[in-house]
Amino acid sequence: MSVAAARPIVMAVTGASGAPYAVRLLETLIERRQQVSLIVSDHGLRLLDTELGIGSVAALRDRIGGARWDETVRVFDDRDRGAAPASGSALTAGMVICPCSMGTLSAIAVGASRSLVERSADVALKERRRLILVPRETPYSAIHLENMLTLTRAGAVVLPASPGFYHKPQSVEEIVDHSVDRVLDLIGLPSPEAHRWNGPEPTRSK
């Protein structure tokens, strides 16, 4: 078993937009039997309800599949800053915030730690663990960009939900999967189904 599989991934869902990315990422982690410490903020829950009609964490469990969820997912309250992900001594394989609102990104950049999501991200940075932030908002203001630069310098990876199209997606699901596959690459769980650029098609001589 790999280190990534042995230790839980902390996954947080915050506001803004991009609920399909969050659900697909969580589905994939569960399919891989990856242990997940899940934190859904109040705004993240509102997002899931607005974009996908998922009105509660229980509804999210039902959408993804209860049996596998129960084997792999442990849910934490965003208000509980004393939960396991808030401590550096609780070993994890890193953290992904998908989607990551600009308010959350800003709070992490200044070390606010007002919630479990923010504190868990602060722990990932101080423990030198992988922290992946998936913002979807656009365009970015100078403040957003400065906060992203601050976090990148601190060791985080800012991965905007900006899918490529070289694989010629035929559905929204394939567009979503492209960004999710990039996240999986970065946490050490690459997808064998991922579309990868191998250069242009060779020119056939006549």
Q: Which residue carries 């965003």 as its tokens?
A: 78
| Spatial contact of 121 and 81, defined as CB atoms under 8 Å apart | no
Q: Which residue carries 């396991």 as its tokens?
A: 84
Neighbour count for residue 136 (Cβ, 10 Å): 18
Give the domain ranges of the chain. 3-186
- The answer to pTM > 0.85 is yes
**Predicted pLDDT at 156:** 98
**Predicted pLDDT at 111:** 95
pLDDT in tens, 155-182: 999 999 998 898 889 999 999 999 999 9
CATH number corresponding to 3-186 = 3.40.50.1950
